[in-house]
Amino acid sequence: ELRVVHQSGVQFDAELPEFRTQGGVHIHTDRLTVTSPVLMWVKALDLLLDKMKRAGLDFSRVRALSGSGQQHGSVFWRRGASETLKHLDPDQDLHQLLQVCVFSVSDSPVWMDSSSTQQCEDLQAAAGGALRLAEITGSRACERFTGNQIAKLRQTRAEEFQDTERISLVSSFAASLFLGGYAAIDYSDGSGMNLLDIRTRNWSEICLQATAPHLDQLLGAPLPSTSVLGPVSSYFVHRYGFSESCSVVAFTGDNPASLAGMRLQPGDVAVSLGTSDTVFLWLQQPRPALEGHVFCNPVEQQEYMALLCFKNGSLTRERVRNECAGASWELFSAALRDTPLRNHGNIGFYFETMEITPPVIGVHRFDSADCEVSSLSPQVEVRAVVEGQFLSRRLHAERLGYSIIPGTRVLATGGASSNKEILQVLSDVFNAPVYTIDLSDSTCLGSAYRALHGLVAESGASFVDVVKKAPEPRLVATPHLKAKEVRRPLYDDALLASEAEPCSRSLRQELHETCPHNHRNTFCSPAETNTSVSGETLR
């Protein structure tokens, strides 16, 4: 049986106050540039391993390790840094050894940065447009994506760029510390750069040339996410007691690691119901689009995953609860129980703040006659917001190539996953059973699972087989018998309404006829955060 035997964490702001971060980052005066100190991450690793050692964890029993890093962030190694990594003194902390002349850029761009709009426009022009870039790299140009950050640095800080020997993602940077040398970028995290061709799993020549000269040499060749990179550095053997035979498995991004932690299988979808809602998909035949992101799958080399972020999540549901159910979740749930599937033909789309998927704002309600109305009755409004949200999740998932297959499961996490009635609507809209999973940190758990899988992946063992003894998710809802026949007309209505979300009722038909996808020249927005570093081990 696989179970967690130890957990430790470090909070950047509270435990490393000398770096003066808020939420683990520095927001610059332009309010667009957002960075994190590289040495803060290094010192956090020192603290984390010291905590684990003081807690009595026997590092000599660790056969393999892996990890994850916040996606899109980048680390720029100064010329000569590789030699420093090879000769680390185990009597000193890592942050002491790496604080001088190791990083050409001391503050790393992170996922919250939105200062590279011009570079996004340049990259899309070079690739032949936003959709063509998405077809190559899995995403349209996103300001936080690493390739655009590299292009900006080359243009605005040429001296530091010229002094750079290697560029890592946050994940491969952390792996490099454990390896004692530069670690390869894995396919899955590499998919979040606007640089990797997700079908050939090599750097796209078009994107490289549009970003920086000789960039392939600075990035190194990408490798499968299941790769064993080598044994752990002698620094960790002598300082912490790791075995010399302990393997370092390629690190990946936090979102791919979460997919591993949730143990998604082909056909599964995971829905995180939080302040913002996030949908994780396992895809076999992806169709990259202008919204959402397609990555190489972190646990199955020939397949894919997709990520969809929806900013209007639990806060929108709570607002409707407050206005229509007396601020009571019990009354909110009762309204869902007392209203039928399809809500008598009433539907709503609630984008109270600028949405990510799709990039629109506004609240639109439609009655059974397909007329836009200013309000609905309280009970009807409650179901309208929940059905409308979940229809949007499924609509955009299918646009990326997702389809329901026999055995499909919906895995629900996040705060709203404790509400049985909300999960029943989720089950009916997806026409699939819903399970809940008890995860405190799916990224760390996924990294532990991936380390275990990395030991046997070359022998052909599947990830599903390796983690089959992990705790199983709990079945909480199954679709009503009429869910399939009722969902279809509701879904057709949602398709028309979704394609006309930003428009008034008078423009809906015109828009549907002339611009069925309502594409806008808007770049992607972030929907995740990372303010700490943590470690987890399995037995």
To the question of domain 256-501 being in CATH 3.40.33.10, the answer is no
| Helix, strand, coil in percent for the chain, rounding step 5 | 40, 20, 40
Do the Cβ atoms of 63 and 167 come closer than 8 Å? no
> What is the structure's pLDDT at 276?
86
- Cis ω for the linkage preceding 222 (within 30 of 0): no
Six-digit token string for 259: 């997919």
The gap from C-alpha 184 to its chain's centroid, in whole angstroms, comes to 20
Cα separation, 107 vs 330, whole angstroms: 47
- Residue 532 pLDDT: 52
- Site of tokens 């590289």: 38
12-250 shares its CATH topology with 256-501: yes
DSSP type of residue 400: T
pLDDT along the chain (539 residues), means of 10: 92 97 94 96 98 97 96 97 97 97 96 94 98 97 96 97 98 98 98 98 98 98 98 98 98 94 92 90 91 96 94 93 97 97 93 87 92 96 96 93 92 91 96 86 92 95 94 94 63 49 35 31 31 55
Q: CA 14, CA 85: separation in Å to the nearest integer?
A: 28
d(CA 523, CA 149): 14
Cα–Cα dist 155/24, whole Å: 26
Helix axes 378-399 and 314-324, enclosed angle (nearest 10): 160
Q: Are strands 532-538 and 4-11 parallel, antiparallel or unpaired?
A: antiparallel
Q: 401-421 in b/e burial notation, b at 16+ Cβ within 10 A?
A: bbebeeebbbbbbbebbebeb
Residue 499 pLDDT: 47
Q: What is the architecture of the domain spanning 12-250?
A: 2-Layer Sandwich (3.30)
Q: What is the pTM of this model?
A: 0.86
Tell me, what amino acid is at 206? I
Residues 303, 443 contacting (CB under 8 angstroms): no
DSSP 198: T
Q: How far is CA 323 from the centre of its chain?
A: 32
Structure tokens at 472: 């199983």
Q: Starting at the edge strand that comes first in sequence, how are the strands of the sheet with 410-413 ordered?
A: 293-296, 304-310, 277-283, 269-273, 410-413, 434-436, 474-477
Q: What are phi and psi of 433, to 5 degrees?
A: -65, 145
CA 349 to chain centre: 24
Q: What is the DSSP string of 229-298?
A: EEEPPHHHHHHH---TT-EEE--EEHHHHHHHHTT--TT-EEEEESSSEEEEEEESS----SSSEEEE-S
CA atoms within 13 A on the CB side of 454: 30
Question: Exposed (0-12), middle (13-18) or buried (19+): which is 375, by Cβ within 10 Å?
Answer: exposed
How confident is the model at residue 484, as a pLDDT? 72
pLDDT at 493: 53
Instruction: Kindly list the domain boundaries of the chain, sorted by start residue.
Output: 12-250, 256-501
Alpha-carbon distance of 211 to 213, in angstroms, equals: 7
> For residue 304, which phi and psi values (nearest 5 degrees)?
-135, 165
SS3 (DSSP) at 319? helix
Per-residue pLDDT at 419: 95
**H or E element in which residue 131 lies:** helix 130-137
